[in-house]
Amino acid sequence: MGKYEAVFQKSIEDPEGFWAEAAEGIDWYTKWDTVLDRSNPPRYRWFRGGELNTCYNAVDRHVENGRGDQAAIIYDSPVTDTVAEISYRELQQQVAVFAGALRNQGVQKGDTVIIYMPMIPEALVSMLACARLGAVHSVVFGGFAANELAIRIDHAQPKAIVIASGAIEGKKTLAYKPLVDSAIEQSSHKPEKCIVLQRDFVPAELTEERDISWQEAVAGAEPVDCVPVQATDPLYILYTSGTTGMPKGVMRDNGGHAVALNWTMKNIYNVEPGDVYWAASDVGWVVGHSYIVYGPLLYGCTTIVYEGKPIGTPDAGAFWRVINQHRVKVMFTAPTAFRAIRKEDPEGVLLKQNDLSCFQSLFLAGERLDPDTYHWARKMLNVPVIDHWWQTETAWAIVGNPMGIEQFPVKPGSPTKPMPGYDVRILDDEGNELGPNQEGNIVVKLPLPPGTLATLWRNEERFISSYMSAFPGYYETSDGGYIDEDGYVFVMGRIDDVINIAGHRLSTGAMEEVVATHPHVAECAVFGTDDQLKGQKPLGLVVLKAGVECDEEDLKVELVQMVRSQIGAIACYRETAVVSRLPKTRSGKILRGTMRSIATGKEYRMPSTIDDPTILEEITEDLKKMGYPELS
């Protein structure tokens, strides 16, 4: 039996023993009564009765254990021409003081705080300060539009909001304060306080009584100690797109999350305390939470906060410069970034100008790693290129290549094997388990390992219906795929209507809701098509209201602006086709999956329930005029 096999089997056959051993890597105020509370399935809870503080484990204990002078954060911002290091001791001081500032503004244990910031150290300080107080943070990606932020304000009901005055996006300056003011105006819930970090290139106007500058808030604050919380208490809420357009608030607990992420740093990524680890993502996404902030800091690594792009800041050599300059050992980013770099510098001329001898491995996730990108990255870097697959809901990899346990040969197109703790199965639609190479629904047999979602914030019913109902006893990933004869998992794509744009999950249902509000649109469908750069992109099909006469090009421009305004530029909504009708089942359900197959050049079966088969020929012709299908 190989090393991986032994570790994996123990995790499945004796999860209590396996994760109790892993939990020894975390400092506890009080040890747990029960490793795994199985009393109320499918609502399993880890380390019930244990008390700890995530901020203490990520910051204070490293100072106490002699790592105070080690860099905790390297801030590298080509857009502001800044490089700075923050030691663990300095981070402890900044976090303790900002926790005091939050407490002065009325934030206490159990309160929620929304954080709306770009990639700057203060975003991490804000998250850790909330954890220090036992407050629950909800980071909202700075690129989301005001009404998307308003939805999250109403749902999370924060006591306070912490924001930066703005950010630099490419060559443009984006002011955050007007977006936040508009969101608060739109929301029913009104936060009591808004703390604004003033950045010199985009000063914000403060609202009297509600707003206070970060600088003023910390000037009048005393540092506070870590507040013990229950292992089962919430650490954060992270909203992920749902198929109804209403985002789902994934709730992460303190205990299981700290144990699992600390365990992954060595076992999956094969780093040691003191190593420089770089996740080139954003704190607004789950990768940022897990592997810019909590994972590296829990394990005592140095994490990089990079405020820039893979290309254009200043060129396609940006990533190589960061790896070289800061001696990065392991990097984690999305395949989109490498597709963009490859497009700009296919021969790796800029890469060869840098010394990457420090670099050990590249991890990619967030979307499917296409074989072309894998082979290019492998050839250029000459280090292992590791695909791994996980979700916002899981916080860490479901399937991967566990570099710290046993390295497996790569099969391009597969993220390799299930990680310890994840009992991955393939089921047909009736719930029957399928054999090797048979494609079906990818599910995970319960209980899920620590660190995964405990529930959905203020929506227990949706937690059950979204993840636990379709296949009782299993977590439904909503992805389809198969497991081959060697145990390698192949993930073929989403089963629902959430699409993956450059590693960011966005709801086409939410986009449809926006498009449908245009006065000329009778009905519409938005679905994901393949895109060489971003993995997927949305395509809208609209049917005009009877008797409407309008310029189709003007309509398309208006729809782009509407989606951009309501959801944000991150949606990448640019293409619309005006069609005479949409294909539907006899019951009226729009056949989005069939249209997606047509647009991507994939084979499809004529649905037996279609009300009029001739419409698919019309749709095919309409899409051909637009240049679809792009793939043969």
Ordered strands of the 136-139 beta sheet: 211-213, 193-197, 160-164, 112-116, 136-139, 234-240, 248-253, 455-456
Host domain of residue 151:
3-308+388-476
pLDDT in tens, 518-541: 999 888 889 888 888 888 889 999
**Domain total for the chain?**
2
pLDDT greater than 50 at residue 632:
no
In a domain, 314, yes or no: no
Domain membership of residue 484 (yes or no) is no
End of a domain among 428, 459, 476?
A: 476
Instruction: Pick the last residue of a domain from 443, 476, 509.
Output: 476
Q: What is the pLDDT of residue 588?
A: 56
Both tokens of 155, joined, read: 């749902």
pTM for the full model?
A: 0.87
Half-sphere exposure of 165 (CA within 13 A, CB side): 16
278 and 420 assigned to the same domain: yes
At residue 497, does pLDDT exceed 70?
A: no
* Same domain for 545 and 396: no
Domain-located, residue 335: no
Q: How is residue 16 written in tokens?
A: 């209590």
Q: What is the 3-state secondary structure (H, E, C) of 32-95?
A: CCEEEECCCCCCCEEEECCEECHHHHHHHHHHHHHHCCCEEEEEEECCCCEEEEEEHHHHHHHH
Residue 221 lies in a domain: yes
Residue 70: how many CB atoms within 10 A of its CB? Answer: 17
Residue 75 has pLDDT above 60, yes or no: yes
On whether both 620 and 508 belong to a single domain, the answer is yes
Question: What region, left, alpha or beta, does residue 585 occupy, with left being phi > 0 and alpha being psi -120 to 50 degrees?
Answer: beta
Q: Is the pLDDT of residue 373 over 60?
A: yes
We report the CATH number of the domain holding residue 526 as 3.30.300.30
- Token pair recorded at residue 66: 């002699």
Question: For the chain, how long is the longest CA-to-CA vector?
Answer: 75
Q: What is the mean pLDDT of residues 166-189?
A: 94
Q: Is the distance from CB of 299 to CB of 273 less than 8 angstroms? A: yes
**Distance between CA atoms of residues 115 and 124, nearest Å:** 10
pLDDT recorded at residue 78 = 97
Which residues are bridge partners to 139 per DSSP? 115
Bigger pLDDT: 438 vs 512: 438
Residue 300 lies in a domain: yes
Q: With pLDDT > 70 as the criterion, what percentage of the chain qualifies? A: 96
Kindly tell me if the per-residue pLDDT of 631 is higher than 50: no
Residue 555 lies in a domain: yes
Q: Which two tokens stand for residue 550?
A: 């309008």
In a domain, 373, yes or no: no
Any idea which of 27-31, 547-551, 599-603 has the lowest mean pLDDT? 599-603
> Same domain, yes or no, for 574 and 470?
no
Task: Give the whole-angstrom CA distance, residue 508 versus residue 245.
Answer: 8
Same domain as 505, residue 472: no
Q: Which of 461, 476, 491 is the C-terminal boundary of a domain?
A: 476
Is the confidence at residue 336, as pLDDT, over 60?
yes
Q: What is the pLDDT of residue 623?
A: 84
The answer on pLDDT for 581 being more than 60 is: yes
For residues 417 and 517, membership in a common domain is answered with no
621: left (phi over 0), alpha (psi -120 to 50) or beta: alpha
Nearest to 357 by CA among 334, 387, 324: 324
Q: State the chain's mean pLDDT as an integer.
A: 92
Residue 571 confidence (pLDDT): 86
Residue 221: its pLDDT value, please?
A: 97
pLDDT tens-digit series, residues 240-286? 875 455 789 999 999 999 999 999 999 999 999 999 999 999 999 99
Alpha carbons within 13 angstroms on the beta-carbon side of residue 378 total: 15
Selection from 175, 214, 207, 203 nearest residue 191 by Cα: 207
Q: Residue 617 above 90 pLDDT? A: no
Question: What CATH number has the domain bearing residue 53?
Answer: 3.40.50.12780
| Cis before 629? omega within 30 | yes
Instruction: Give yes or no for residue 504 having a pLDDT over 90.
Output: no
* The pLDDT of residue 119 is above 70: yes
Do residues 448 and 583 share a domain?
no
List the structure tokens of 221: 């604050």
Do 118 and 245 sit in the same domain of this protein? Answer: yes
CA dist., res. 414 & res. 398, Å (int) = 12
Measured torsion, CA atoms of residues 20, 25, 28, 30, in degrees rounded to the nearest 10: 20
Selected residue with higher pLDDT from 565 and 113: 113
Which one is predicted more confidently, 606 or 350? 350
| Any domain includes 259 | yes
Residues 431 and 528 in one domain: no
Q: Residue 587 is inside which H or E element, if any?
A: none
In three-state secondary structure terms, 237 is: strand
SS3 content of the chain, % helix, strand, coil (to 5): 35, 25, 40
Q: Report how far residue 238's alpha carbon sits from residue 130's, in angstroms, rounded to the nearest whole number.
A: 14
Do 459 and 513 lie in a common domain? Answer: no
Same domain, 526 and 450: no
The verdict on 41 and 141 lying in the same domain is yes
